[in-house]
Structure 1
Amino acid sequence: MKRLIFLVVVCISLAGCIKSPIDQAAKSITEEKLIEPIEKLSSDSFKGRATGTEGAEKTVNYLVSKLKEHDIKGGASDSGYVQDVPLVGQKTAEDAIIQITKNGRTVRSFEYYSDFMAWPSNLAENVSIDQAELVYVGYGIQAPEENWDDFKEADVKGKVLVVKNNDPSKKADLFEGKTRLYYGRYDYKYEKAREMGAAGVLIIHTTPSAGYGWNVVANSWSRERFYLRGNDSMEQSPTKVNGWLTKESSRALFESAGLNLQEQLAAAESRSFEPVPLEGLRLNLDLEASYRNQDAQNVLGVVEGTSDRLKDEYLVFTAHHDHLGITKAVEGDSVNNGALDNAAGVSAVLNMARAYKKLQPQLKRSVLFLFVGAEEVGLVGSKYWASNPTVHPGKVTANINLDGMNVYGKTKDLVLVGYGRNTVSDQIQKLAEKQGRTVKPDPHPDRGYFYRSDHFPLAKKGIPAIFPNSGTNFIDKPEGYAETVDSLQNANYHTVNDEINKYWDLAGMVQDVRLFFDVGYRIINAEDMQRWQKGDEFKQARLNMIEDASSQ
């Protein structure tokens, strides 16, 4: 009996020392493994990884080589690693000037880059707007479900719309309060102007309403822009110009019409708002743009599942591999290295791909690692995949999108953009709480982050998607550290300063990536696919896609 007890004790002790395969795979995700791709992709030799450049080509080649190194199969339709995204590139000449006249006399002149940004919205080489009337249309929103119409049947054809950024947020029962909906995105403003037949549209920029400074607008929109080739709706658009106007220029514009900008911005918060003509003012603008056909690339890798019943269903991880490239020099530096945005997210997905490959015999569903291109020019790579999927959206259980990571140390919390909207959010929350961490919703719902990264085009196809963000309750850091991190992130976003710096501490990234890896493992092996919660805007699209997939 004593011998039997001894053997049992020994067996229990040995079992406690043997790590489970999931733990072993997770522990292969280390700081050293994570920093390697970040250092590589954010080095000056990759020239900022802008779409359509040598740096982008170099990035794609690097990603393919890493997938092959980890023995991960290609996930494109031809079983290769690359999905071409057919684009047309647009570069707008920077010598444009907006002239505002009154009674035939120029009263205001606004300069490109410093005062306004604009580009042809119909892919024309030359655009001329001559003596166009201007009308302020508040938020420029028509939302029947909210009984909201900023146009009030006004005829705005051939006119230039001046539009307030964001959507109404003063009342909790309107437009979900401070949560920015798609109505608040610039995409919606431009689409609505086209629908209404306007000649152009200028969005009034303020840092609070955009969630970023004018430097981000100027830096982003002055670069070469890319659109999906063959977009007939753009080429046939009655709208000639899309653009932005600084708050200072907007104030001057309104003053020229005898109006107070702040009063007009406040008036737009009411359902009873009616369009306000900028009486007596006319806008003149000539734009020139050059074009080229250029393909971007999505890079895809697959680890196939082993269950006969579930292996044709997929969990999709996304991370965009592009950044801003070369822009105007700041203190001699013109390379936008994009270390945090998004070499960090790419590294996280690469490391998880390597770790899942180690666990392949235990995976019931398959995993698709989708490194999308052309994100910085309007989520174009992910939009293209969503319209030309290599896996039927109705067969995708979920999407976890990694765009930026926690590179500043361990935290007691984690932020989820899309918190509570689907069961993927629930899975992350359950596992994080087991680790003693708190999961929080987006602290800036007014900035509309759910509509600003690559999970959004997949969500529109019905795929339950989540966008994790960094926590802010740092562990073992000095007082005021979170404020320092927040300041760094705001200052470095979309600038040449997005580089590895002295504050980086990848212990936090290890913590988060291992969490997402574990969550993914559970989703891959769950009995049922993930779903949107009742009442979510994407739930019906999900049901439609599942039905369509089952009929094929």
Structure 2
Amino acid sequence: MRNLKLTLLLSGLLATSPGFSQTIKVEKPVTKAMQKVEATAIKAHIDYLADDKLLGRKPGTPGYQMAVDYVVDQFKKTGVEPAGENNTYLQTVRLRQATTAPGATITLTSSTGQATTLVTDTEATIYPNPVQPQVNMEAPLVFAGYGISAPDMNYDDYADIDAKGKVVVVFRGAPEHFPNTVTNYSMDMLTILQNAAKHGAVGVIVAAPRVPNLQRGVNSVMTPDGKVGASRSYASDDIKLLAYINYQTLQKLFSEAGLDPAKAQASLRSGKPASAALKSTIKANYSSLYHDYESQNVVGKITGSDSKLKNEYVVHSAHLDHIGVGTPINGDSIYNGAHDNASGVASLLEIAKIYNNLKQKPKRSILIVMVTAEELGLLGSAYFANHPTVPANSMVANVNTDMPAIIAPLLSVVPLGAQHSSLYKQVEQASKHLGLTVEEDPEPEQNRFIRSDQYSFVVRGVPALHIKYGNKTADGKNNLDETVKKWREVYYHKPQDNPDGVFDYDAGKKYAQLNFLIGYLVAQQPERPTWNENDFFGTRAVQ
């Protein structure tokens, strides 16, 4: 019933949206150009990018550089113009791996003056600070529920507390009445940090069953002047502390304030904030160590044909990186990333070929962006969205491609994120043209909406989507998600995700054609894509 109501709601929003797009006819030359996509070419791209010699394409390594060089060479062959920095195809991404130095301390002091120093890595973990090598701070504590402010959802954890100059303690979660994508956004750590800073907090402590292990460090992108250009764990200089504590420590804090964690969680889930001042203060003293290195985004352009609209861009994106060499599984330690995301890169390279075969280019220009450091927290795409090589307000839409899982015939699709904007119209038209049906997400619990690079564009105000497989199967059982789950257990983020795995290259061909056609239709529209009226993400868009 809930899915039916959601479908009806989306239909109503799309039908009444003031900026709703007209239907653009798919001309024969476009259909003909789409046929230039070759399953054998997709296989060849994947075979190269996921070869052992690239050693898993980890950012900052020679293997990743080989992938960059391959993409640049393909761009040149298909007439894609350079759109990176200094008239090149490249955008430099300065990565910083930060670790918390040994000796970091967190001390809690009760209202009676009793001080307790927490055991690091067991009772507490402190995140390194990417711009402040040494932090020594002290502040009162206040409980701020989930750390969410969403008045349009009738919920605000900060409504009845004063967080200014304090460290807020939060749970990870969201009220049960929040739609899935809203929950994903609200639980994103960057959202929590930004909201805390907005309310004047100087730190955030997350309560969890276990504290995370940060031995591998935390990654950020730095700007040329040494500031943070993109990060998943840093919002502003005002936030001096990001840490986790375990539930046993939280229980002690709550007990002193006369609060019950279980009752607080139940209240929060039901949509009723339970924020309250705590009767303890926190003192944190820690240092951060840095390892700096460089990687690259690869940025190409197809110039549009309209004298005015060619100054606007539809962005096709895919991440070029994977996770390198790691723990051996069945004797193999190279995490090749054939599906994740050599297949997505292959799709974009074939999309570039389609555009190259169009004598009449679309009205708007096209950016084809292969981003780095997705596996480190969407960092390459976040840096590009924050610091694009074109004017920020000229990017009208993003069509992202990440691990399409081409392991079976493509019969239906799930357009993650499209339901929030007028892009849903182009998804419907393109899918219909290719004989595909459009479905809702069969796995909302996977939080895929915020786990791939389209999310970097969404939070910057650019309507975006990510096409995933639907559930439709040729035998009518329509249970492809079961097959995908089993496949994921064997291949996802494992060395077994190599060119010898399971592939349906004809499905890859259709997937590339679909993503091209969505982008092409957007590029042909007289008007820019728009967020649906009063959409949750549209109201939070940052341009």
Q: What TM-score, normalized to structure 1?
A: 0.76
1:353 CA drift (Å): 0.6
- Structure 2 residue corresponding to 1:69, chosen from 67, 70, 77: 77
3-state DSSP class of the match of 1:242? Answer: strand
1:467 CA drift (Å): 1.6
Equivalent residue, structure 2, for 1:12: none
CA distance in 1, matches of 2:331, 2:249: 33
CA distance in 2, matches of 1:93, 1:36: 45
Aligned pairs for 1:136-535 within 5 A: 136-156=143-163, 160-168=167-175, 170-171=176-177, 175-176=178-179, 179-180=182-183, 182-196=185-199, 198=201, 200-204=203-207, 222-229=216-223, 230-231=226-227, 237-244=237-244, 249-250=246-247, 253-254=250-251, 261-270=261-270, 272-275=272-275, 287-327=286-326, 333-445=332-444, 449-475=448-474, 482-489=481-488, 493-494=492-493, 498-500=497-499, 502-535=501-534
1:380 CA drift (Å): 3.1
1:434 CA drift (Å): 4.2
Equivalent residue, structure 2, for 1:8: none
CA distance in 1, matches of 2:287, 2:386: 31
Which amino acid in 1 is paired with 2:121? E
Q: What TM-score, normalized to structure 2?
A: 0.78
Conserved? CA contact 2:471–2:478, under 8 Å: no
Which amino acid in 2 is paired with 1:410? P
3-state DSSP class of the match of 1:290? Answer: strand
Conserved? CA contact 1:223–1:327, under 8 Å: no
CA distance in 2, matches of 1:226, 1:372: 14
1:446 CA drift (Å): 6.1
Which amino acid in 2 is paired with 1:231? K
1:276 CA drift (Å): 5.1
CA distance in 2, matches of 1:449, 1:393: 25
Conserved? CA contact 1:303–1:360, under 8 Å: no
CA distance in 1, matches of 2:198, 2:529: 35
1:152 CA drift (Å): 4.9
CA distance in 2, matches of 1:421, 1:106: 47
Equivalent residue, structure 1, for 2:7: none
1:111 matched to 2:121: yes
Conserved? CA contact 1:179–1:446, under 8 Å: no
1:181 CA drift (Å): 5.5
CA distance in 2, matches of 1:32, 1:412: 20
1:418 CA drift (Å): 1.7
1:93 CA drift (Å): 5.0
Conserved? CA contact 2:413–2:468, under 8 Å: yes
- Structure 2 residue corresponding to 1:60, chosen from 59, 68, 82: 68
1:81 CA drift (Å): 0.7
Q: Which string of whole-angstrom CA distances, capped at 9 and with x for unpartnered residues, describes residues 395-417 of structure 1? A: 44432111221321114320011
Q: Which string of whole-angstrom CA distances, capped at 9 and with x for unpartnered residues, describes residues 444-466 of structure 1? A: 55665444433334344443322
Which amino acid in 2 is paired with 1:222? R
Q: Which string of whole-angstrom CA distances, capped at 9 and with x for unpartnered residues, describes residues 244-267 of structure 1? A: 56xxx4367437865765443222
Which amino acid in 2 is paired with 1:463? V
Which amino acid in 1 is paired with 2:58? A
1:440 CA drift (Å): 1.8
1:197 CA drift (Å): 5.2
Identity of aligned residues (%): 28
Which amino acid in 1 is paired with 2:46? I
CA distance in 2, matches of 1:343, 1:495: 14
1:237 CA drift (Å): 2.6
1:127 CA drift (Å): 4.6
- Structure 1 residue corresponding to 2:88, chosen from 80, 91, 107: 80
- Quickly say closer, same or farther: Cα 1:325–1:202, change in 2 above 3 A: farther
1:66 CA drift (Å): 1.9
Comparing 455-464 with 314-323, greater Cα deviation is found at 455-464
Comparing 154-163 with 509-518, greater Cα deviation is found at 154-163
Q: Give aligned pairs, total.
A: 506
CA distance in 2, matches of 1:30, 1:218: 44
CA distance in 2, matches of 1:340, 1:266: 40
1:94 CA drift (Å): 7.9
CA distance in 2, matches of 1:328, 1:156: 43
Which amino acid in 2 is paired with 1:141? I
